[in-house]
Structure 1
Amino acid sequence: MLPAAFGGGVVATTRRERLRAALDRDLRRSARRLLVGGGIDAVTLAAIAREVGITPPAIYRYYRSRDDLLLALAEDLIGELVGELRAAAAKFPDERPDQQITAMIRAFPAWATRNRAEFGFVFAAPPPVAGHLHREITEAWTIAVGGAFGERYLRLWEQQPFEVPDESELEFGLSKQLEGYRSVVRLDPMPLGAILVFVECWSRIYASISFDVFGLLSTPFPDMSVMHERMCRAICERLGISYELPAAPERD
């Protein structure tokens, strides 16, 4: 998380602080518009300054560099996604982590297809940014998105454990990496075999969304919604969750 002085969540109390916070939001919103309109290369401090109506040097009062501003934008997008995932889960009681997980699996592609450029900025492989910025963005979404799913996944495991590989079957190198991932997403009570299943389920979600957002199968599959649903059904089967068809959309 960025320090408060550099866009990391300023708590505005005085009029001056409120104006400062408002301009900070404008900077990040401008960065997002430029990202959607022209890709990551269009997100320059000069372009943001023109949109907001300030001089480029004034941005340095809020962010130490373009990278810092991009990281703040990424954190905004990750927060928005996690908010939608949690809102989808909140439609079901905590006693039904199976239904919460299913709702979140469906909510993720829905957000990604509405925000294709934003998904590409945060989740693309190879990423549009490199070096420390890529590492920090990846760490941020791993913790936030993995944690949102992991919270329900752990509850499901505690309620109804499902079949997972025995730890003795896992290669040493894989086990060490799974241990690290388990710590990052705070699933420490779970066996490594269950962590492996968690990662495998994530890989299915990511692949399904990537095929859609990046148009990898756009010619034969212009509408990936049915494939997304098949992915959701497959994960439910793997976790021993009773699969239910999505609710019909409400009509006006």
Structure 2
Amino acid sequence: MTANVDNARVAQKHQRMQYARVNMCKHKKGDRPMEASSTTGPSRRQRVRDATLRELISVSREILTTQGVEALTIRAVAREMGMTPPGVYRYFDSHRALLDAVILAILDELTEFVAAAVAEVDEADTAGRLVTASRALRRWGVEHPREFHLSLVVSPPEEENPTVRRARAQVGRLFGEIFAGAWRDYGSASPAPWPREPRIEPLAERLVRILEITMPSTAAAAAFTRCWMRLYGMVCLESLGLPRIVGDEEGDLFEAELAELSRTLGLPEAALRTGR
């Protein structure tokens, strides 16, 4: 299954990287693997296959967005594509593999959305970049609630394949790198944002290890863990529509949380006006 998902991700990014030989599904005994010319790129057959794969993922995402994850079945995708279910299984050897490919496409889009928003802020403005990244995450999550819920809220870690696990970590990794820059400029020069809490430190060490990032200090790692969990948690709640129950349609609760964390970290007040 992991091989299928990896290859699906390659096809999603085909315009940004050169093709390599791609095998999307397990070959039956005696089948010859499809090969691409090393000098002219992928064969016509491979290009058609990759285009179909991208369309399968796009159709699957449309079903997810309009009907919900319960409606996202192999049979439903086949019907929308004008294919038979066995035809879809030529591209994904299981329903789980199809879901994983959709999740990878969603996570790539989310990460690129946040990164593009941050790129609009001067690199020297580390506080503004952190605030911008936080708001971009919320905006995407609110605008794509079903995609956010599938890709970053559901699926226990033990059910993830390694490729999806790494993709989920890339969102937190991006925030971690931005947070580390803001901490070096502001957090380390301010009083400790929270009293040292020994129970948090091993959790922070584990999070940093999972995300494969480097924090300037143990205090920075602990502060990042607290901030990430609170902001990410707020976006999860908004993706589920819970704040709207009390009339929060504009993200007021999120903004209040972001403002409090900014003050706690010693970020300048002007950072909260970044991009507004």
Bigger mean CA offset, 27-36 vs 157-166: 157-166
2:227 to 201, 204, 215: 201
Q: Greater relative contact order: 1 or 2 (C-alpha under 8 angstroms, separation 6 or more)?
A: 2
Residue 95 of structure 2 corresponds to 66
TM-score (norm 1): 0.84
Change (3 A) 1:226 1:178: closer
Change (3 A) 1:236 1:164: closer
Residue 7 of structure 1 corresponds to 8
Residue 106 of structure 1 corresponds to 135
Bigger mean CA offset, 113-122 vs 185-194: 185-194
| Secondary structure at the counterpart of residue 58 of structure 2 | helix
2:125 to 96, 103, 106: 96
TM-score (norm 2): 0.78
Distance 2:274 2:239 in 1: 21
One-letter code of the match for 1:245? R
Residue 212 of structure 2 corresponds to 186
- C-alpha RMSD of the superposition: 2.6
Q: Which digits, 9 at most, give the CA deviation of each residue in 1:35-93, with x for residues without a partner?
A: 12222111111111111122211222222211111111111111111111101110112
- Using the aligned pairs only, state the percent identity: 24
Q: Which digits, 9 at most, give the CA deviation of each residue in 1:97-151, with x for residues without a partner?
A: 2111111111111111110111111223xx2x45744475873354211111111
Are the equivalent residues in 2 in contact too, given 1:88–1:103 (CA < 8 A)?
A: yes
2:173 to 136, 147, 162: 147
Q: Which digits, 9 at most, give the CA deviation of each residue in 1:188-223, with x for residues without a partner?
A: 343232212112112221232233221223232141
1:176 to 2:202 alignment: yes
Flag structure 2 segments of 5+ consecutive residues without an equivalent. Answer: 12-18, 20-40
One-letter code of the match for 1:9? V
Are the equivalent residues in 2 in contact too, given 1:49–1:55 (CA < 8 A)?
A: yes
Distance 1:48 1:142 in 2: 24
One-letter code of the match for 2:109? E
Distance 2:133 2:120 in 1: 10
Change (3 A) 1:41 1:103: same
Flag structure 1 segments of 5+ consecutive residues without an equivalent. Answer: none
Distance 1:131 1:156 in 2: 29
Residue 18 of structure 1 corresponds to 47
How far off is 1:165 after superposition? 5.4
Are the equivalent residues in 2 in contact too, given 1:205–1:231 (CA < 8 A)?
A: yes
1:84 to 113, 122, 139: 113
